[in-house]
Amino acid sequence: MKTNALSKMELQQLYYVQHVDSFQDALDPEDCPLAIIGHQLRRFNRDDIHYRFDIQWLNGECTLIRADAMRLQHPDMVADYAQAKNLTSKPKFEWVKDYLDSHLDVKANIVNMNARAVKKFKFGVEVPNNPKHALILD
């Protein structure tokens, strides 16, 4: 499934569902894969050429799962693996570069928001962020 075939609204819905899914995985980690430990290119049918990932689970079990399914469920894990194994030049992994670039912006925004939200204290006194905040604290 190519994400560029989706509209902007459909992409937003997909990202929302993926974030909710990752939150559910954090609450119940037994259903969450630990790592991708390998991959295979499957060419049994000319119309269905796809990659499969060797997935290691929390209980120690290893299974083969199609890359398309892993991309929908755990895009961060697939993108990190594809970048580490230099698969980003392959047609099935062209989406990884755009995905990582867009998520770097999101992560930077989260870090900036956290930095602004945290109150700083020195010697037990709150440090003002700007002159207006200093006047409010006085």
The tens place of each residue's pLDDT in the chain, 138 residues long, gives 444 577 878 877 877 787 777 777 777 777 788 899 999 988 888 777 889 999 998 888 899 999 988 888 888 889 989 999 999 898 889 888 888 877 766 666 666 665 666 677 888 888 887 888 888 887
Query: Among residues 83, 25, 37, 44, which one has the least CA distance to residue 64?
Result: 37
pTM greater than the 0.85 cutoff: no
31, 10 Cβ separation under 8 angstroms: no
Q: What is the DSSP string of 80-138?
A: HHHHHTT-TTSGGGTHHHHHHHHHHHHHHHHHHHHHHHS-EEETTEEEPSSHHHHHHH-
CA distance 41 to 87: 12
Query: Among residues 68, 65, 51, 67, which one has the least CA distance to residue 1?
Result: 68
The tokens describing 18, both together, are 């993926």
The tokens describing 132, both together, are 């207006």
